[in-house]
């Protein structure tokens, strides 16, 4: 599969963009700052990530999710016909066109497969490993599409940007995860703040807020490292990292008075997200 360019189908890529525009507006908006000739390939990567993330939401039991993820593995091996799935077709074309490594994509599939079973996150290290597989890998591959070469600075930046974005997204999604019985806040943090019972009871106590504040601090620590790496990144790869600039505004919203982590929907108006992304793209150049 690698190294063989597939005849592209514009409708496959158009489907990916439409999916993102409807379902993952942050990444779609960030992709507008990607050079036009590479943008559709970034759409393919992001659309695949979205499809993998929602498998657990659309299947009625883990076995059905396992079957879906096995199909994706087969598609990567060329053992499944991807033409009927526009996201798969666009993804495989992108992988072949840029000779992308498949290992990060397979790591993402493994992490999303584990989601099917709803096991609570036990430690900060486990959470960082999970967000590395699901988000950092995505940053890394997107940077490869834009720059064409992997270097230590880009790899390190992708690691920390991905962990920060991943944790921010998980905290924002707390109301939905709790409704499904999923717990991504590490048990060791809940235990340290005496918040396990309140969290299980979906009670936004001071202990729960303190536990989440620690998670915010961990997120900001990764953001700080990312911004330290930013000046050393190749110019071509910079647009791949733009989604990270939305983390801090979301964290600030979650620290406002009256915020209930189990009820409050954290969202920024589209105009503000566009402004934040534009400002970041201007400053990073």
Q: What is the tens place of the pLDDT at every residue in 48-72?
A: 999 999 998 899 899 999 999 999 9
Low-confidence ranges of the chain (pLDDT < 50): 1-5
CATH topology of domain 119-265: Farnesyl Diphosphate Synthase (1.10.600)
pTM for this entry = 0.94
Domain boundaries, the chain: 8-117, 119-265
CA torsion through residues 188, 69, 162, 207, sign? negative
pLDDT score, position 8: 54
CATH number for the region 8-117 comes to: 1.10.600.10
pLDDT score, position 179: 86
CB of 267 closer than 8 Å to CB of 274: no
10 Å Cβ neighbour count for 160?
A: 23
d(CA 48, CA 88): 7
Q: What is the tens place of the pLDDT at every residue in 167-220?
A: 999 999 999 998 888 899 999 999 999 999 999 999 999 999 999 999 999 999
pLDDT score, position 152: 81
pLDDT score, position 3: 41
């Amino acid at each position: 599969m690698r190294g063989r360019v597939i005849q592209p189908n514009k409708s496959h890529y158009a489907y990916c963009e439409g999916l993102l525009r409807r379902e993952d507006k942050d990444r779609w908006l960030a992709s507008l700052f990607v050079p036009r000739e590479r943008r559709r390939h970034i759409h393919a990567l992001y659309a695949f990530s979205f499809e993998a993330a929602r498998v657990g939401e659309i299947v009625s039991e883990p076995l059905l999710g396992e079957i879906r993820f096995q199909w994706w593995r087969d598609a990567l091996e060329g053992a499944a016909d991807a033409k009927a799935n526009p996201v798969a077709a666009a993804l495989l074309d992108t992988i072949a066109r840029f000779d992308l490594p498949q290992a990060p994509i397979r790591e993402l599939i493994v992490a999303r497969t584990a989601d099917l079973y709803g096991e609570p996150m036990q430690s900060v290290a486990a959470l960082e490993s999970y967000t590395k597989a699901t988000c950092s890998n995505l940053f890394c591959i997107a940077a490869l599409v834009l720059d064409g070469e992997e270097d230590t600075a880009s790899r390190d930046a992708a690691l920390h940007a991905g962990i920060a974005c991943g944790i921010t997204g998980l905290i924002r999604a707390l109301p939905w995860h709790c409704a499904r019985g999923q717990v991504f806040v590490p048990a060791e943090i809940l235990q340290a703040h005496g918040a396990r019972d309140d969290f299980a009871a979906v009670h936004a106590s001071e202990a729960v807020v303190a536990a989440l504040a620690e998670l915010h601090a961990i997120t900001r620590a990764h953001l700080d490292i990312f911004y330290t790496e930013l000046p050393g990144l190749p110019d071509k790869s910079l647009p791949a990292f733009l989604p990270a600039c939305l983390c801090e505004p979301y964290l600030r919203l979650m620290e406002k008075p009256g915020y209930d982590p189990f009820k409050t929907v954290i969202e920024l108006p589209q105009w503000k997200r566009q402004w934040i992304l534009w400002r970041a793209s201007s400053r990073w150049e």
